[in-house]
Chain A
Amino acid sequence: MIEFRSVSKQFPDGTLAVDDFSLTLPSHQTTVLVGSSGSGKTTLLRMINRMVDPSAGTIEIDGSDIAALEPVKLRRSIGYVMQNSGLLPHRTVIDNVATVPLLRGVPRKTARTEALSLLDTVGLDRTLADRYPSQLSGGQQQRVGVARGLAVNPNILLMDEPFGAVDPIVRAELQQELIRLQSELGKTVVFVTHDIEEAFLLGDQVVILRDGGRIAQVGSPSDILSNPADDFVASFVGADRGKRALHVERRGGSDILVDTEGRLAGVLVAPTGPEASPDHRAPQ
């Protein structure tokens, strides 16, 4: 569990990035911080591994104040995945993944074996192990980034717009991959994005931020969608523009979902998945 208690951050240039922020992030769940640029979401994330120290307030991980912990040691116990992967360009994929275990003194051979199995975990072919980051696609690099984040088997995984720089198709793929991983691993994930769709897809708890890290609303995606706290939230999730209010229209023999502005949002199909019986599966 991560707890922010009245945390503020003023940068030396006078910018108040975060103003009196309090929040509890439950363990083994994904909390998504979402907001536009300037909302302080990345600053909040970077406070958890002490890349940024708060000017006021405290942050606790499982009840202990992180201000008392040594930053380097703390960071080695927390997984971190950033936009543009941040991989070391002069090290191979496998060495990048094994970076932190090696820093923590894991024997080279063990670190390598574990790194190889992490490549499997994130869905990368083992033949890529000896390539350099510049030889991989953007999507592959992000997967390596995730594998590196998981390498020390951390309880907490921080993800700073990890899928921001890949194209929409790869992004969708990586999002599904993360959902699968999270269902297997059950980490405490803190995810930062400016994309509300991504936030609703990945988040158990979604935190919508205004400027200065002020919380506009906290809740599950369905809470926020059905009961936006105010006009800001409604506008942020698109409810005010009718994007989220759908009705069914019968067109050409199928049920089409249409939003208030008349934009086509999709088709109505029976649910798929384990609980849906094959008979009711929608025709493609």
Chain B
Amino acid sequence: MNLFVDALNWILDPANYVGPGGIPVRLIEHLGFTLVAVSLAALIAVPIGFLIGHTGRGRGLAVAVSGGLRAIPTLGLLTLVALWVGIGLGAPYVALTILAIPPILAGAYSGFEVIDRAVIDSARSVGMSEAQIVRTVEVPLGLPLLIAGIRSATLQVVATATLAAYVADFGLGRFLFAGLKTRDYAEMLGGSLLVILLALTLEGIFTVVQRLVVPRGVAAGRPPVDRSRSARPGPGMDPAITKGTH
């Protein structure tokens, strides 16, 4: 318990809030790093995921590759890339972008896959082009699952981004590694708590965003109106799609 109090004291100590190695700077570094890594991963994974989801082709390959990527130990990959590109931020960016790709890829294609085939078939039948089907039907209806994937990726990256400090003077991980080296366990625990706090904050934001992107008409769905004569359940979506990928 003492250690915990020491950690809180460390967090609250004004001395730790100044200078280039202070908490605010580290926090912003950490957050910025996470955003860039997740954005890079999204840039790669979203178009591929949409393509797989729209065409229905290459899913097996995507699952295999994602599984493979997930199985890579991030610290190992980080060290390997660092040996190759050298000390600095290059290696962490590569390693964590790779870490973030599988959940985003899965979110992107499964978002398309859960859409009722009849909805897409009818969109095509009335004369929507493939691009219009993707833009106006599949993307809006698949968005909740894509966001769930990005959320999951962000959580993994923000937690694992502490490793960036292993090869660079960067981010909240600095406190962990510095604390470990100097046996300053209050600093170590304090740094960990800050990472947890950041992760929880991002979770909170994503929870709200995920709710906001569920299209009206899919989310609302069931107000008390005359559904008495409905011979079938409402079209398309059920609440299951708003669940995460895990």
Contact = CB atoms under 8 A, between A and B. Distances in A.
Interface string B117-157: 01101111111110010001100110000000000000000
Interface centre among B119, B122, B222, B227 (most CB of A within 10 A): B122
Given A86-B121, A88-B119, A89-B235, A134 B126 contact: no
A74 B194 CA distance: 60
Nearest to A141: B235
A134 B128 contact: no
Contact of B236 (A49, A83, A89, A103): A89
Interface residues of A, number: 40
A237 B140 CA distance: 46
B14 interface: no
B71 interface: no
Nearest to A80: B125
A89 B215 contact: yes
Interface size class on chain B is 35 or more
Interface string A82-114: 111111111110000001100100000000000
Contacts of A100: 126-127
Interface in A125-146: 131-139, 141
Given A134-B234, A138-B229, A138-B230, A92 B217 contact: yes
B82 to A, nearest CB: 46
Given A89-B237, A132-B220, A82 B125 contact: yes
Contacts of B223: 135
Interface string B99-130: 00000000000000000101101111111110
Contacts of B182: none
Nearest to A85: B235
Given A86-B122, A90-B217, 10 more contacts: A72-B128, A75-B127, A86-B121, A89-B116, A89-B234, A90-B140, A90-B141, A100-B126, A131-B225, A134-B236
7 contacts: A49-B125, A86-B119, A89-B236, A103-B128, A135-B227, A137-B230, A149-B126
